[in-house]
Amino acid sequence: MLFLYNLMVQFAGFLLKIIALFSPKMKLFVDGRKVVFPLLEQKIKPTDKTIWFHAASLGEYEQGLPVIEKIKEQFPSHKIVVTFFSPSGYEVRKNNTVADVTVYLPLDTKKNAKQFVKLIHPDLVFFIKYEYWPNYLAELKNSNTKTYLISGILRENQLFFKWYGGFYRDALDAFTYFFVQNETSKKLLQQIGKTNVAVSGDTRFDRVVAILEKDNSLDFISDFKDNTLTIVVGSSWPKDEDLLVNFINSNAFNVKFIIAPHNIKDEQIQQLKNSITKKTVLFSEKEGKQLADFDVFIIDTIGILTKIYSYADIAYVGGGFGNPGVHNILEPATFGVPIVIGPNYSHFAEAIALANLEACVSVNNQKELNEALENLIRNDDIRQEKGHISSTFVQMNKGATAIILKNILND
């Protein structure tokens, strides 16, 4: 099976080069990997001490950030190397300040894995939540490198737990320790003989709790809000926007809306703006405007949604009408905001928990969306109660980073 896997990786590398000719995203994926080894040779000396963190994409990076920051504090003489698999992670966080070197992870071939591990010669390695690359893990095992999975999630439909997944199970032997989010993941690993497992929880809670300690003020959002009840729509997709625009255009409440779409391409932003009949302004055209005069503020930039959530009275988090499902609901939750989402959230434990606690309301259609928002707008007590449950839930689940650090430092 490993032989077939290696053939598939080689074929995928060839195929991606062809796709890159027609796809801007795949071009970033392919071209970004061409400079990895020369950059590492330039940035990492043979005498350097290094620690490597790998994140599949942006969400995993944000999830691992509390651990990266704490490890950096504990090992100040080490260089931090961060790798991404996806352009959607790398392109957004390639200029982060926590890592000394940030690069794409080369495709998982034996040659790439050997060269990569040799160049960065890490003392510690952390894989965040997902992604188990057999050749990289084999190389780390061969070099006796301490390797950890943090905020791991395991599901019984994964290849590890199939009768034909032996080579994939063998790859897990590289891990010194598994820090997983829940008991289900721990039991699944134990079923295949892995006893070096601890349930540490989800480090994302630590990240969002830390947000509260930062300056989240944005003067232009405060000017727009103008002490008016405000609904913040975060990471919305067209299906979300179709329903929300209908509500925005038809409601008669004294309420304002801030929309931060997942996709900020000019054509889609203009289409969204043109569909709204209320007075609407874009972030890119806000200068010189009396923002308090507008009803809807569309954020056609990235990187400020977290701070915007601090101004929300109600949050709608997008993605729940598509696959894989709803986006990050912990950011509004940490600010004590009641949350509305679409129906697809079954893969997200925090969404399931908050829905069960009734701090998060899932809607399936226009009628349910209208009812949910109208109920939250009209009832201060309900809005405050759901918000309080949200913030309490986040506070009660923090602490994963401390558990991970304690185990690693005592290892």
CA distance 106 to 117: 11
CA distance 224 to 207: 27
- This model's pTM is above 0.95: no
Q: Which residues contact 270 (CB under 8 A, 6 or more apart)?
A: none
Selection from 81, 80, 75, 6 nearest residue 37 by Cα: 81
- Exactly one of 60, 62, 241, 331 is catalytic; name it: 60
> Which is the CATH superfamily of the domain at 216-397?
Glycogen Phosphorylase B; (3.40.50.2000)
60 is catalytic: yes
CA distance 225 to 84: 37
One-letter identity of residue 25? K
SS3 for 127?
A: strand
What is the per-residue pLDDT for 165?
86
Instruction: Evaluate whether 41-201 and 216-397 have a shared fold.
Output: yes
Beginning with the edge strand found earlier in the chain, give each strand of the sheet holding 256-261 in spatial order.
Answer: 280-282, 296-298, 256-261, 230-236, 314-317, 339-341, 360-362
Q: Which residues contact 351 (CB under 8 A, 6 or more apart)?
A: 325, 326, 329, 341, 345, 360
Q: CB atoms < 10 A from the CB of 88, how many? A: 16
Given a contact cutoff of 8 angstroms between Cβ atoms, the answer to whether 216 and 310 are in contact is yes
What is the per-residue pLDDT for 217?
97
CATH numeric code, 41-201: 3.40.50.11720
Domain boundaries, the chain: 41-201, 216-397
CA distance 33 to 20: 12
List of the chain residues with pLDDT < 70: none
CA 196 to chain centre: 26
Given a contact cutoff of 8 angstroms between Cβ atoms, the answer to whether 167 and 2 are in contact is yes
Q: Which residues contact 9 (CB under 8 A, 6 or more apart)?
A: 107, 108, 109, 135
- The CA distances from residue 368 to 245, 346, 353, in Å, are 14, 19, 20
* Token duo for residue 332: 């509004």
Nearest-10 Cα torsion for 84, 185, 146, 398: 80
Selection from 202, 176, 178, 174 nearest residue 190 by Cα: 178
What is the per-residue pLDDT for 131?
87
What is the per-residue pLDDT for 59?
87
What is the per-residue pLDDT for 75?
97
Q: Which residues contact 294 (CB under 8 A, 6 or more apart)?
A: 224, 256, 279, 280, 281
